Chain A
Amino acid sequence: MRSAEMTLEMAGEIRPHHIGLITHVRRRLMGVTGAAILGFLILTAVVGPFVVPYDPQSIEFSAFQKPGLEHPFGTDKLGRDVFTRVIYGARISLGIGIAATLMASIGGTLLGVVSAYFGGWVDYLIQRLVEVVMSFPALILLIILSAALGPSIRNVILILGIAAIPIMSRLVRSIVLSEKQQPYIEAARSLGASNRRILFMHVLPSTLPLVGILASLSLGFMILAEAALSFLGLGVPVPNPSWGADMSGNARDYFQQAPWLAIFPGLAISLTILGANLVGEAVRDIIDPFAQSWGRAGR
């Protein structure tokens, strides 16, 4: 991986004339579309529950009604309104995704700073641990953690956060390592600044921009992972209106009879992750323009 410092420098160096007009517009279009999708979803998550007329848990309607005017997405086997559940699901999905991303960012930053700043055997131990955890396929790690902690909304956040801490800490460690060599740190030290002051006043703030970028890139992964875990019955437990959980377990026995039960929650998940990935793609384009400009130079 390119050093963090270099990536930052590159981010500062982008000028419009490096980029062809079409690429420029497409890049904007992609990012804007993604941001619009995510914005719409956040709005849905915040405002939606106040607007929809029904309760996601209420079982007052007759079961398996086809999508229609009264129930745009139909009703499920218990007679719950699927539209209402999908709207409430946005809250669970985005809430868990954002909470887990925050947890991973904070935990990863602390671990990375400690590892890089203190070095020596502390660094060695932390890095070996991080490597072992990172070598596990993400989903398998999540399943094992979930089996250990048990499925609940709080635990899903915890599991996703823990699983993403290692990669976040790696990034932060690499930034701190290069930052440690900077003259201004030496200057601060020669002025008599304490370790703690240097860490919190100088080193930590310099990690923030890239941590923010990586956090924004990982949101899509978090949401997808939550849906997959819930789908496997190891994430958000029923009867919470989670998109993944609504398609799992014995709900699947009724798909043949009521395909809308499978279609709408799945569409909601896909749209959300598409939005997150489009934004991520735009962000990546901005911080890593090399592939683009090299490509142009070759033509």
Chain B
Amino acid sequence: MLGYIVRRLIALIPILFGISILVFAAARVMPGNFAQVKAGQNATPEQVAELEHQYGLDKPLVEQYFNWLGDAAHLDLGKSLLRNRPVTDEIVSRLPVTGQLLIMTMGVSAILGLTIGIVSAMNFGRPLDSLLRGVSILGMSVPTFWVATLVILLPSIYFSYAPPFSHVGFFENPWDNLRQYGPPSLVLGFASGCGLARIVRGSILGVVGQDFMRTARAKGLRESVVIRRHALGNVMLPIITILGMEAVGLLGGTVIVEQVFNLNGLGRLLIESALSRDYPAIQAMALVVGVAVMLLFLLIDIAYACLDPRVRLTGGTNA
């Protein structure tokens, strides 16, 4: 098992290399460089040149790239133009917000997705199936930023209700904290749970017609046991992959709900950086997202290797 993980980590290196080159190149292709943005529109060429020198932008591209990469390896992702403080600090200080949001959203999404998907599959072809399918298509169609807006707006109009305005840590005041994080994770979790439900339903229906299912029924097992033991057991593995993919997609979804619900997480950092063209910050966040996604994929594969003996047989020799 350990050997497998180490091999996967080594295989990650060229991919991370590719991501870093792409992110670096993208930042250079952007119109105007850091220095021009920082100096403003009325800057003289000398001022721009001085800033360029300060940021090392006058050096050859290859040298710039390796300097940046070397710094990044030491977790130094450069300085935000907008806030004039290291991007790493900014990211670390916002990590708990996005982290809690992601965990709660994943929970909501998994519970809703599995429940709707299983109930839907068990009632295949009946009205309940059609109803749930309709609900999940609807849930996928309605944009989260609109639902989120209504979730804030309607209670405030009809009940004059407002969630706590400034950030509350979970251990300071769990109730206020949940009032803050509950609605956004429900909104986002519902949307992504609807997508998940469709896949769960499809995967279950995919195994329902197989021989071992008929055998299980022929043995006289109750339908719920057949579904739980035989269908779900086979369906769980692909669903783990899908859950992992959902988590990657949710990295994008959090950007929107953080914006609407006023949560100061990584998503808002990205938006603020993008709106003010804070290139060092954008570049840093792109790298962080790329690395996070790769690690998530790795986690999925490890979970697979742990749960599925077939993967261990082909993937690792001394597992």
A139 in contact (CB, < 8 A): yes
Q: A135-B290, A137-B249, A140-B270 are in contact. Are A232 and B255 (CB under 8 A)?
A: yes
**CB distance B206 to A291 under 8 Å?**
yes
Contact of B297 among A135, A273, A294 (CB under 8 A): A135
* Complex Cα–Cα for A128 and B21 (A): 12
- Could you say which of A147, A233, A244, A270 contacts B277, with CB atoms under 8 Å apart? A147
* B209 located at the interface, meaning its Cβ lies under 8 Å from any Cβ of chain A in the complex: yes
Kindly identify, within residues 125 to 165 of chain B, every residue whose CB is under 8 Å from any CB belonging to chain A.
125, 130, 137-138, 140-143, 145-146, 149-150, 153-154, 156-157
The answer to whether A294 and B209 touch across the interface, beta carbons within 8 angstroms, is: yes
CB < 8 Å: which of A150, A244, A273, A295 contacts B209? A295
Interface status of A259 (Cβ within 8 A of chain B): yes
Q: Which residue of A lies closest to B271 (CB)?
A: A232
Complex CA–CA separation, A139 to B250 (angstroms): 9
> Which A residues are CB-close (under 8 A) to B125?
20, 22-23, 295-296, 299
The residues of A that contact B202 with a CB separation of less than 8 Å are 291
| Docked pose: A41 CA to B128 CA in angstroms | 30
Interface, chain B (partner A; CB < 8 A): 15, 18-19, 22, 26-27, 29-31, 121, 124-125, 130, 137-138, 140-143, 145-146, 149-150, 153-154, 156-157, 202, 205-206, 208-210, 213-214, 248-253, 255-256, 259, 270-271, 273-275, 277, 282, 286, 289-290, 293-294, 297
Total residues of chain A contacting the partner, CB 8 A: 57
User: Which residues of A does B touch, CB under 8 Å?
Assistant: 20, 22-23, 26, 128-129, 131-133, 135-140, 143-144, 146-150, 220, 224, 227-228, 231-234, 244, 247, 252, 255-256, 259, 262-263, 266, 269-270, 273-274, 276-278, 281, 290-299
User: Are A295's CB and B146's CB within 8 A?
Assistant: no
If A137-B289, A295-B209 touch, whether A132 touches B255 (CB-CB below 8 Å) is: no
Query: Which of A137, A227, A252, A266 makes the CB contact (< 8 A) with B252?
Result: A137
A136 touches B293 (CB 8 A): yes
A269:B255 contact, CB within 8 angstroms = no
Q: A294 to B256, Cβ gap below 8 A?
A: no
Cβ-defined contact, A266 with B143, below 8 A: yes
Shortest CB distance B42–A (Å) = 19
Of all A-B residue pairs in the complex, the 10 with the closest CB atoms, nearest first, are A139-B252, A294-B209, A266-B146, A147-B274, A137-B252, A298-B208, A274-B141, A295-B205, A297-B209, A273-B141
- Out of B150, B250, B270, which one reaches A266, CB within 8 Å? B150
